[in-house]
Structure 1
């Protein structure tokens, strides 16, 4: 199985590429379109991180409210 991936390249974004695709990626590395695509992907990743952080805060708030409601019902 290791020999299957021996020729593949791992790029800085963590994706695996075959040698053919790797050559294309290297050749088109700094075109205007590729730079814009990378910027869009970066912004999308930041937006996902922000949304995940907000979701965690909301989930934590819900846990606290549920715990408080349960404590009030026991009184």
Structure 2
């Protein structure tokens, strides 16, 4: 089983941490670019995900800042 979730504060980060603690795999989906991990308190968790064979993915340009919403037409 692979846990896929956002890297949000709360249940999302708990799921990522639990997967890693059980030597499972996890994928974090960002709402920002890969250079802008949000929330900053999860930078260590993002590093651990990468180091332990998980993935950090984003559909945004690498430098995109996290925004509370994105307007779509």
TM-score higher than 0.5: no
Structure with the larger RCO, 1 or 2 (CA within 8 Å, 6+ apart): 2
The structure with the greater share of residues assigned to strand is: 2
The structure with the greater share of residues assigned to helix is: 1
TM-score, structure 1 length as denominator? 0.23
